Chains A and B, each alone.
Chain A
């Protein structure tokens, strides 16, 4: 059952976004609606799993001097393949995601997992670890995307949930939710909520205040 742990741990305990604060850029950019957030989540999870599998498979033969460039090459190739697939089979969504699918290459979650896990572990645990981290990232993206789309446009997955004032209802959309800063606020609140419940996630302060120092 320890294998299963690789999938469940990154969901909350080791979440790449809220604990390791990785992949924030894309989490801001694509969470204005659930559709784009879901597509991005699926694309990133697919890239994570596939890159973990390939890198883990050849991990014994990657010279350490060029390991990062080898990892990036593999990840970049997979990202291009996913991007091409989206352009062929989900053209509308790929246009809305514009450059952000391509930027999965620079998403620290992917390289981070490749470097810290897939390079040292067999294929199956690596793929499960990739899946877990992909799902952890997706979970945060879906929560942020859901909140932003609901409060920012009154819709979920593009379908109207409440009637906005523009269409004669009572709901006044919160314009801020469609802008990038709101994702910062929501992720910040999520980090705060998770760390209040799981106190072991709180890191010791790097520079304690002088008053606290005196109390020690």
Chain B
């Protein structure tokens, strides 16, 4: 076996239209480019995540700003942020031993800390659901004043993440804020605009029988259970509707909401 340097020189000395050289150059260029891109991506990930986290917090703040009475309540209670609590999604109980700060949202990929969603129930296109989730709430004298539920769904071309704020009756929507999405700019991405978010407050999640009936419709929405979709962004708007259907249902926060209704906090 010749030493690597000689081999390398021999490779470079080959004519450019030689098949080995063509193939070799293609592989080398691809490999070096992939290495550079991966290295940058991995090194910069913490910084980018910090920006995304700051943006998520800012959106939470902005959502609270759309609910002036909540700000007032928070000032009276002397708190500046909502309280974060971990819950067990399958039975709806609180999981006080879990630390919400270090909770890894990506746990849904891990078979030990998530369950597979049966395909017929997987309206939001998630495939798996984590066992525990953080919820944000504001309580006063043991009474729930506002509940904020994080949720996500697969949209047209990205994962849509959102926060749903629910009134203490656990039926009326106080606000819906899209916290993350990568939908088509100018079309699907409009789900994140304030104009669309403004359609949600006051809508009702469930009818008298407790069925989840909120939906996004084409054309003109009628009644308290319907919200106008965005024209030109049917798949993205429908995904938001499906997200609510899934996360408020039995596999999502359903057990938690039922427990809150019957037992309180």
Contact = CB atoms under 8 A, between A and B. Distances in A.
Contacts of B12: 61
A96 to B, nearest CB: 11
Interface stretch (A6-14, A34-42, A81-89, A183-191): A81-89
**Which bucket holds chain B's interface residue count?**
20 to 34
Contacts, number: 60
B222 interface: no
Nearest to B185: A98
A51 to B, nearest CB: 11
B29 to A, nearest CB: 5
A175 B21 CA distance: 56
Contacts of A65: 17, 22
Interface in A65-87: 65-66, 69-70, 73-74, 76-77, 80-81, 84-85, 87
B44 A66 contact: no
Chain A binding surface, main DSSP class: helix
Contacts of A74: 29, 33
A62 interface: yes
Contact of A85 (B26, B40, B185): B40
Interface string A109-126: 000000000000000000
B16 A63 contact: yes
B37 interface: yes
Contacts of A76: 33
B5 interface: no
Contact of B47 (A69, A81, A88): A88
A66 B48 contact: no
Interface string A91-118: 1000000110000000000000000000
A64 interface: yes
Contacts of A69: 26
B114 interface: no
A84 B48 contact: yes
B30 A73 contact: yes
Contacts of A85: 40, 44
Contacts of A63: 16-18, 21-22, 25
B51 A87 contact: yes
A74 B22 CA distance: 16
Contacts of A73: 29-30, 33
B16 A77 contact: no
A149 B18 CA distance: 53
Given A77-B37, A85-B44, A91 B22 contact: no
Interface string B24-37: 01100110011011
Interface of B: 12, 16-18, 21-22, 25-26, 29-30, 33-34, 36-37, 40-41, 44, 47-48, 51, 55, 185
26 contacts: A58-B25, A61-B12, A62-B16, A62-B25, A63-B16, A63-B18, A63-B25, A66-B22, A66-B26, A69-B26, A70-B26, A70-B29, A73-B29, A73-B33, A74-B33, A77-B33, A77-B34, A80-B41, A81-B40, A85-B44, A88-B44, A88-B48, A88-B51, A89-B47, A91-B48, A99-B185
Given A70-B26, A87-B48, A98-B185, 11 more contacts: A61-B12, A61-B16, A61-B25, A63-B25, A69-B26, A70-B25, A70-B29, A73-B33, A74-B29, A87-B51, A88-B47
Closest 5 CB pairs of A and B: A77-B33, A88-B47, A91-B51, A88-B44, A63-B22
